């Protein structure tokens, strides 16, 4: 949770950064590393995901503090529209959807191997949701940790169908080693899976349409194998090139004790990483183009809106800045790494 640093005031609602109570998910592949790495208070058992900023209708974020406390994010989209999302979010306003979902994942065990459709396929097949491009930013990786990203060279639709039928799916998967600080773009249509020993930040389109191809022959909580969706997966997989993994950061700005890079981008979002030395200040102005989501993944910082009290930023907690919030600065109190997300 962000910590208020300034004196209490009564600024306009959209002049205030929005903080949220995380929504925790307790899937069988989770662990307790969100507690170990970031000091999260977790309930007993395993925690697999923490949804930080969510407009997903069944699991919406609820504002934790300020003049909009207690309000759900989809309700705010309906009320404030482009003033909240920005002009780049006009289509999302029309559909009544907050377009992105930001969450943390603790993969103490491997997730299923799966694929998501793109927007065109989702619309043509009446899923009721968008497609799903996503990206992963690695916050922790144990020695030897890997992900699944795409298929091995030469694996086409017929070869993958045969591998499924013969129980050889693992032989078809492209495994990629990952390390702390890596970023991986996972376009819709890419076969993928997060394997054990990885904690990451995920930014994705607001969609939960997922087709499982393989689940490591394990049983679900009910003692039965989880459902697979092989035929649908074979329809949506892009058997072409899945793209580089990890992605090479693109430098945007350097100087003044800071380095700002684009670590992932697609037609639905841009993700930047800001590395800042202690005392460095980043300044920007939200003039109605796009909302921004900010969070620190290392070090400590404070966020200073021009029309609202300052906020201290806890590690790996994320704040939504409305598109019309106006000027703000982010000051690194220690050596800091921050993540910035916005609409392209």
The residue annotated as part of the active site, out of 33, 40, 212, 259, is 212
284 neighbors 305 (Cβ within 8 angstroms): no
Distance CA 254, CA 88 (A): 26
Residue 1 confidence (pLDDT) above 70: no
Instruction: Work out the pLDDT band at 9, boundaries 50, 70, 90.
Output: very low
86 neighbors 289 (Cβ within 8 angstroms): yes
Sign of the Cα torsion 179, 182, 183, 187 reads negative
Beta-bridge partner residues of 151: 173
Helices (H), 128-208: 157-165, 169-172
Across the chain, mean pLDDT equals 94
343 neighbors 97 (Cβ within 8 angstroms): no
% residues pLDDT > 70 (the chain):
97
Q: Is 257 left (phi over 0), alpha (psi -120 to 50) or beta?
A: left
CB atoms within 10 A of CB 232: 18
Only one residue has tokens 């800045």, namely 321
- Token pair recorded at residue 131: 């497609």
Residue 146 host element (H or E): strand 146-151
Instruction: Work out the pLDDT band at 113, boundaries 50, 70, 90.
Output: very high
pLDDT at 5: 54
Only one residue has tokens 């078809």, namely 172
Instruction: Work out the pLDDT band at 243, boundaries 50, 70, 90.
Output: confident
Bridge pairing between strands 49-53 and 100-107: antiparallel
Instruction: Work out the pLDDT band at 314, boundaries 50, 70, 90.
Output: confident
pLDDT at 245: 82
3-state secondary structure at position 94: helix
Beta-bridge partner residues of 25: 49
Catalytic annotation present for 212: yes
């Amino acid at each position: 949770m962000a910590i208020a640093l300034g004196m209490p005031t009564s600024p306009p609602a959209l002049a205030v950064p929005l903080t949220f109570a995380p929504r925790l998910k307790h899937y069988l592949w989770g662990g307790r590393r969100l507690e170990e790495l970031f000091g999260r208070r977790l309930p007993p058992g395993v925690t697999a995901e923490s949804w930080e900023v969510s407009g997903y209708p069944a699991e919406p974020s609820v504002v934790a503090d300020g003049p909009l406390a207690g309000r759900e994010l989809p309700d705010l989209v309906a009320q404030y529209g482009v003033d909240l999302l920005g002009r780049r979010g006009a289509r999302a306003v029309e559909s009544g959807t907050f377009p992105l979902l930001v969450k943390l994942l603790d993969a103490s065990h491997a997730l299923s191997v799966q694929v998501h459709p793109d927007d065109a396929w989702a619309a043509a097949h009446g899923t009721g949701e968008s497609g799903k491009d996503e990206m992963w930013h690695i916050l922790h990786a144990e020695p030897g940790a890997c992900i699944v990203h795409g298929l091995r060279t030469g694996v086409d639709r017929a070869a993958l169908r045969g591998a499924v039928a013969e129980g050889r799916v693992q032989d078809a998967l492209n495994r990629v080693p990952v390390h702390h600080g890596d970023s991986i773009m996972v376009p819709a249509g890419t076969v993928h899976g997060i394997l054990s020993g990885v904690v990451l930040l995920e930014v994705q389109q607001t969609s939960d349409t997922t087709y499982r191809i393989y689940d490591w022959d394990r049983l679900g909580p009910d003692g039965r194998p989880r459902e697979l969706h092989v035929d649908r997966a074979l329809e949506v997989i892009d058997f072409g090139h899945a793209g580089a993994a990890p992605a090479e950061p693109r430098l945007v700005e350097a100087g003044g004790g800071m380095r700002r890079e684009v670590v992932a981008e697609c037609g639905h979002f841009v993700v930047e990483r800001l590395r800042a030395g202690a005392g460095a200040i980043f300044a920007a102005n939200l003039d109605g183009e796009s909302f921004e989501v900010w969070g620190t993944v290392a070090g400590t910082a404070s966020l200073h809106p021009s029309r609202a009290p300052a906020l201290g930023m806890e590690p790996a907690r994320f704040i939504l800045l409305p598109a019309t919030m106006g000027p703000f600065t982010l000051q690194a109190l220690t050596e800091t790494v921050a993540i910035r997300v916005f609409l392209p």
